[in-house]
Amino acid sequence: GDTHYYTFNVQMTNVTRLCVTKSIPTVNGQFPGPKLTVREGDRLVVKVHNHINYNVSFHWHGVRQLRNGWADGPSYITQCPIQGGQSYTYDFTITGQRGTLWWHAHFSWLRVHLYGPLVILPKRGEGYPFPRPYKEVPIHFGEWFNGDTETIINQALLTGGGPNISDAYTFNGLPGPTYNCSAQDMADTYKLKVKPGRTYMLRLINSALNDELFFGIANHTLTVVEADANYVKPFTVQTLVISPGQTMNVLLTTPPNPSSPSYAMAISPYTNTQGTFDNTTAAAILEYAPTPASRMSLPLPSLPLYNDTGAVTNFSRNFRSLASAEYPAVVPQAPDRHVLFTVGLGTDPCNLSNQTCQGPNGTKFAASINNNSFFRPRTALLEAHYQRRYAGVLLANFPTTPPHPFNYTGTPPNNTFVQHGTRVVPLAFNTSVELVLQGTSIQGAESHPLHLHGYDFYVVGQGFGNFDPVNDPPKYNLVDPVERNTISVPTAGWVALRFFADNPGVWLMHCHFDVHLSWGLSMAWLVNDGPLPNQKMLPPPSDLPKC
């Protein structure tokens, strides 16, 4: 493969959205950040210079980083953050993957501004398992906050309440026509120019901080062909739903004779929480012919209601991997380990003096997996593991079964207090794992998009209510389940995943809602080296940042 060299200068840049100018961290002054286009088998060398007053690190979301966790990026997990004035080079090769992935900052909430597409084309001379599209366009869905997001999350952690919600959703960083500062000004609106009678591939990425999103285009259908850089059996829908962290390639075939010069595209939230969330819709324009701004009041596509779990379930049922000779599904058939995790919110006692805690019943909000709220270590776990220096850094006793029986339909337990710890689950090399993620409803039923670093997993089953270890496994799809890196644990339900632990290192798994990540909804797998030389972690790069 080829080698691609990039320089990421992280710097503050003035950006105007919703008619307000604010200074935000950007890569090379661009928002959204630069698009990286490579091929399967290529090597990327990304030199990051941090010129801002915050720590930063970058994650290449969905890249497997075989034996090379040093390039994975989550702060305090695989590396210490890059401090202001310092540099670090991410050096990694894309093996056995092609499709749409993305990169984003992995420190606090900085990914709200620091993100961009990572397009991995098939190897030279290799095509797609569908006709080649006329054009390919990455589209990031995002969130915009008028306030400073670091202040927002720090304030929420201090007071123990929910953080402020975003002020708008965005298409490639643009909030849409409702927010233009003057009637004739379309600068805040994303426009996708298309020709009639062609097929476009939209590379969709949900980079929103805290919201799953519905997406649709008025009078057009979308054919889903790929999820999280894995091909799927194509299926056609009017509306799709995409969780933070997930990517999806969809084909859009334009009619030969469109009846209007422009159509609206829209995104709106899917959530079941009782609390507050950003309940706005952002629009963008699919444009066949130039349309004057005065004629831009286009009918929006009809999207499901914010709490339409039925629509989400129907949509997610469609996903099947290709499971062909060329793209086989290698699903663990008889897992060595069965692990059950409850994922959800919980609370901490509040003992701040002179402060009212804003969580339920005067508590502080927390979030947990099997009641363990992840405690951020002071040094990077991967380095501690590589040096076998665990004392005072991590414990290998992460609970692999829930602490008490859990019934989502019942009344939540009186005591929703979580325990805190930097705990990991150790795995022997190449263990086949079945992981059931069970949603809880301690603070109201809510879905949680769980993302696993370093791996793709097969989604073999999902359902509502409590997982039934006797009656549910016989209904698993072990033939052509979809393979992904991020999956939403359904609202008041469960999802079952399987993977082979064939990538040694320390790999974070967490809710991709940044608010839940900040509250501790994460854990790490510690996958030990295998016996062969090519089953061992690579040595750390010499410029690995220090804490």
Binding site for ligand C2O (CB under 6 A): 59, 61, 74, 104, 106, 245, 451, 453, 508, 510, 512
Query: What's the rounded Cα separation, in Å, for the pair 124 and 454?
Result: 25
Query: Do 523 and 509 touch, CB atoms closer than 8 A?
Result: yes
Query: Do 508 and 77 touch, CB atoms closer than 8 A?
Result: yes
Query: What's the rounded Cα separation, in Å, for the pair 122 and 396?
Result: 39
Residue 171 Cβ vs ligand C2O, minimum distance, rounded to whole Å: 19
Surface-to-core class of residue 226, CB atoms within 10 Å of its CB (0-12 exposed, 13-18 middle, 19+ buried) = buried
- Give all strands (DSSP E) within 56-193, no chain letters: 58-61, 87-93, 99-105, 115-121, 135-144, 168-171, 191-193
Residue 105 Cβ vs ligand C2O, minimum distance, rounded to whole Å: 10
Is the CB of 74 or the CB of 99 nearer to ligand C2O? Answer: 74
Residue 398 Cβ vs ligand C2O, minimum distance, rounded to whole Å: 17
Query: What's the rounded Cα separation, in Å, for the pair 489 and 427?
Result: 23
Residue 485 Cβ vs ligand C2O, minimum distance, rounded to whole Å: 8
Query: What's the rounded Cα separation, in Å, for the pair 310 and 241?
Result: 12
Exposed e or buried b per residue across 362-381, where buried means at least 16 C-beta atoms within 10 angstroms of its C-beta:
ebbbbbbbbbbbbeebeebb
Which CA distances in Å does 309 have to 300, 386, 408, 464, 468?
A: 21, 43, 16, 11, 21
Residue 33 Cβ vs ligand C2O, minimum distance, rounded to whole Å: 14
Is the CB of 104 or the CB of 364 nearer to ligand C2O? Answer: 104
Surface-to-core class of residue 409, CB atoms within 10 Å of its CB (0-12 exposed, 13-18 middle, 19+ buried) = exposed
Residue 243 Cβ vs ligand C2O, minimum distance, rounded to whole Å: 11
Is the CB of 161 or the CB of 377 nearer to ligand C2O? Answer: 377
Position with the least CB separation from ligand C2O: 61
Residue 374 Cβ vs ligand C2O, minimum distance, rounded to whole Å: 12
Is the CB of 323 or the CB of 509 nearer to ligand C2O? Answer: 509
Is the CB of 74 or the CB of 520 nearer to ligand C2O? Answer: 74
Query: Do 428 and 396 touch, CB atoms closer than 8 A?
Result: no
Residue 68 Cβ vs ligand C2O, minimum distance, rounded to whole Å: 16
Query: What's the rounded Cα separation, in Å, for the pair 39 and 45?
Result: 14
Query: Do 461 and 524 touch, CB atoms closer than 8 A?
Result: no
Is the CB of 209 or the CB of 311 nearer to ligand C2O? Answer: 209
Query: Do 52 and 13 touch, CB atoms closer than 8 A?
Result: no
Is the CB of 74 or the CB of 490 nearer to ligand C2O? Answer: 74
Residue 508 Cβ vs ligand C2O, minimum distance, rounded to whole Å: 5
Q: What is the full DSSP assignment across 19-67?
A: TEEEEEEEETTBSS-PPEEEETT-EEEEEEEE-SSS-B-EEEET---TT
Q: What are 253's strand-pairing partners?
A: 199
Residue 102 Cβ vs ligand C2O, minimum distance, rounded to whole Å: 8
Is the CB of 32 or the CB of 412 nearer to ligand C2O? Answer: 32
Query: Do 398 and 370 touch, CB atoms closer than 8 A?
Result: yes
Is the CB of 364 or the CB of 453 nearer to ligand C2O? Answer: 453
Q: Count of alpha carbons within 13 Å of 477, Cβ hemisphere only?
A: 18
Is the CB of 61 or the CB of 498 nearer to ligand C2O? Answer: 61
Place of tokens 């927010």: 179
Residue 74 Cβ vs ligand C2O, minimum distance, rounded to whole Å: 5
Place of tokens 């004392």: 391
Is the CB of 141 or the CB of 263 nearer to ligand C2O? Answer: 141
